[in-house]
Amino acid sequence: MLSAIILAAGKGTRMKSELPKVLHPVAGKAMVAHVIDAARGAGAAQIVVVYGHGGELLPERLRVDGTDLTFARQEVLNGTAKAVEAALPALRGECRDVLILCGDTPLVDQELLREFFEQHRQQGSVVSILSAQIDQPGSYGRIVRDGQGRVSGIVEARDATVGQRAINEVNSGIYAVQRSFLAEALPAVGSDNAQGEYYLPDIVSIAVARGLPVEALVTGDFTKTLGVNSRAELAQAGQLLYERTCRRLMDEGVSILDPRSTYIETDVQVGVDTVIYPNVYLEKGTRVGRNCLIRQGCTLIASSLGDGCTLKDGCYLEEASVGAHSSLGPYAHLRPQSVLAEEVKIGNFVEIKKATVGARSKASHLTYIGDATVGCDVNIGCGTITCNYDGFDKHVTVLEDGVFVGSDTQLVAPVRVGRNAMVAAGTTVTRDVPAESLVISRNEQKVVEGWATRFRRQKQKK
């Protein structure tokens, strides 16, 4: 059985934030949540998250995420070795090897972890480190190798000599360790270093000193192990994640005009032959069907689009569902619980909330539909308003199949307009309307002939 320990107790001083570093969102999800997903995807049956800074906030935020999560509190934040030590009692009995990850490397993915862990098992090392070659090793720990190229230890940047600092092979902070060795080695880790902390990487030199096998697997893709310590690295990680998702979708047959300005979260699905324009945000598990066109500036949050839909510029959808071959916008707003059937047309400056709209119905301009049930083949004229709120409660409007609503209509809920009825333009509907009828509420029109001419003359004389 594979258990994973995720180190997430640190404050993240360089972020200059009230929020614990690993809770900062990257591409829509807390940094540490990406790491949890990768560990889970790699087959970890148990995941122990070590928390500390920020108190119970971290377990509170993450607990909803799954039953395979266990939390271990690190009381004193005195180094990564102590963080792992805090997690040991939580490990299940049958766990033989432990995958150790940092909560601040949101770009790791399950393939990399699986490959790394597989290699660790095959080589039978007591400690395996995932390392990376980078041009600017900065604050990463350096992998020190002996004359034969065997790993002899890891030295932190702050403790490194000038010569060691020039080493380009760095520690990603991802390890696979035999549990029995881990339990023996951790108490042997000291704190005689620049930060006075107990460094987890020291278990490597401990293993080497005991003549135990240690391996470093060099990853080909350094971006996957990027550690986020600052806001600049947070932005960089976000961009890389969005880029990766765009690449996956393009490989699957989605057209993205400008991947650099398209923000699609990792758990979003998009069907083939859909075309996405710039400045589009697809978030929180949004699903887009095949053959859709999403023009610039649209945001979809936890929403779904059927096949063949068109979203013109600037649409905003939240927890909404849109049937196939519908057309929205420009500038349409679908709020939570908006459910549109097929071939619906929603035009500019139309807001819909908690409403179902039947097939082929249309609201083309300047309209508010809230708390409503709209049937099929309903035409809603320009400037129609469902008056759903009396200051205390929300009330429902029902427009049955085939209803025609003229422009500038107010529907004062609760109210029902029966099948195929027609609402004359400018009407305020306050009572239910029977099927097949006309409803009209208007002052009778009065015409005073010649009045305008007389009025102008009078004014011009002055």
Q: Does the footprint of Ca ion cover residue 104 (CB under 5 A)?
A: yes
Out of 4, 47, 50, 182, point to the residue binding ligand UD1 (CB under 6 A): 50
Residue 104 CB, shortest distance to ligand UD1, in Å, is 4
Of 104 and 351, which CB lies nearer to ligand UD1 in the complex structure? Answer: 104
Contact 335, 354 (CB under 8 A): yes
Out of 8, 48, 256, 292, point to the residue binding ligand UD1 (CB under 6 A): 8
Q: Rounded to 5 degrees, what angle do the CA atoms 152, 155, 161 make?
A: 110
- Which of Ca ion, ligand UD1, none is residue 238 near (CB under 5 to 8 Å by kind)? none
Residue 161 CB, shortest distance to ligand UD1, in Å, is 16
Q: What is the CA radius of gyration of the chain?
A: 31
List the structure tokens of 171: 């520690």
Here's the x/- map for ligand UD1, 225-264, by CB under 6 A: it reads as --x-x-----------------------------------
Q: How far apart are CA 355 and CA 256, in angstroms?
A: 31
Of 204 and 300, which CB lies nearer to ligand UD1 in the complex structure? Answer: 204
SS3 445: coil
Q: Does the footprint of ligand UD1 cover residue 141 (CB under 6 A)?
A: yes
User: CB 283: neighbour CB atoms within 10 A?
Assistant: 19
Q: How far apart are CA 169 and CA 220, in angstroms?
A: 11
- Helix 231-251 and helix 31-41, axial crossing angle in degrees, nearest 10: 40
List the structure tokens of 214: 């240690």
Q: Does the footprint of ligand UD1 cover residue 411 (CB under 6 A)?
A: no
Residue 43 CB, shortest distance to ligand UD1, in Å, is 22
Of 69 and 302, which CB lies nearer to ligand UD1 in the complex structure? Answer: 69
CA distances from 162 to 144, 155, 159, 367 (A): 13, 12, 10, 68
Residue 14 CB, shortest distance to Ca ion, in Å, is 9
Q: Does the footprint of Ca ion cover residue 156 (CB under 5 A)?
A: no
Q: Does the footprint of Ca ion cover residue 227 (CB under 5 A)?
A: yes
Indicate if 333 belongs to the active site. Answer: no
Q: Does the footprint of ligand UD1 cover residue 286 (CB under 6 A)?
A: no
Closest residue to ligand UD1, based on beta-carbon distance: 141
Taking CB under 6 A as the binding criterion, the range among 77-85, 318-326, 343-351, 443-451 that sits at the site for ligand UD1 is: 77-85
- Which of ligand UD1, Ca ion, none is residue 306 near (CB under 5 to 8 Å by kind)? none
Q: How far apart are CA 159 and CA 306, in angstroms?
A: 57
**β partners of residue 275:** 255, 293
Residue among 317, 319, 304 nearest 274 (CA): 304
Of 131 and 178, which CB lies nearer to Ca ion in the complex structure? Answer: 131
List the structure tokens of 90: 């939580």
Out of 28, 34, 36, 79, point to the residue binding ligand UD1 (CB under 6 A): 79
Out of 15, 72, 100, 154, point to the residue binding ligand UD1 (CB under 6 A): 154
Of 227 and 406, which CB lies nearer to Ca ion in the complex structure? Answer: 227
Q: What is the DSSP string of 197-256?
A: ---TTHHHHHHHHTT--EEEEEES-GGGG----SHHHHHHHHHHHHHHHHHHHHHTT-EE
Q: Which residues are catalytic?
A: 365
Binding-site ranges for ligand UD1 (CB under 6 A): 7-10, 22, 50, 74, 77-80, 82-83, 102-104, 139-141, 154, 156, 170-173, 199-201, 227, 229
